[in-house]
Amino acid sequence: MVKRIIFLSFFLLASTSLCAADENPLRDPLRPRGFQGTTSAKAPATQPAVKTAEWRLGAVLLSAERSVAVINGQSLQVGDLLEGYKLVSIEADQVLLQKKRKKLVLHRAGTGFKKVLSSESVVKGSQP
């Protein structure tokens, strides 16, 4: 009798866990929590237009080993993709991106350094 109760308890426990597994599909452990993947059935028919006017070239790193461009805080190297645009070339003050026949050039805004002293602001020391 005790074996029968244990068997039925185990059977009920196993069946409820199987039903719960159908409601909650397995989650990929390498994806971040809250990631909402899209499937081809749910994808919109037309993709929204890319707002390239909002893209900013923040920094450029050029060296013998590699070249890196920072666009909107994202580090990219030649050949990387940014919303469908391929990074074609990196120069000291600009980068070239291309998507099919469209070419897009982003210019670096400046060095970010401000002129600290001007000739008018220089004050000579006082005489003893």
In a domain, 64, yes or no: yes
> Which tokens belong to 75?
């580090």
In a domain, 97, yes or no: yes
In a domain, 85, yes or no: yes
Distance CA 37, CA 102 (A): 28
* Structure confidence at residue 125 (pLDDT): 53
Q: How many domains does the chain fold into?
A: 1
* Structure confidence at residue 78 (pLDDT): 93
In a domain, 99, yes or no: yes
Q: In terms of pLDDT, which residue wins out, 34 or 80?
A: 80
Instruction: Provide mean pLDDT across the span 36-63.
Output: 71
* Structure confidence at residue 28 (pLDDT): 67
> Which tokens belong to 2?
């005790």
Residue 78 belongs to domain with CATH number = 2.30.30
Range of the domain at 81: 53-107
Helices (H), the chain: 2-23
- pLDDT tens digits, residue range 64-123? 888 999 998 899 999 999 999 999 999 988 999 999 989 999 998 765 444 444 445 445
Query: Is the distance from CB of 28 to CB of 36 less than 8 angstroms?
Result: no
In a domain, 43, yes or no: no
Which has the closest alpha carbon to 106: 54, 63, 49?
Answer: 54
- pLDDT tens digits, residue range 13-28? 666 555 554 455 666 6
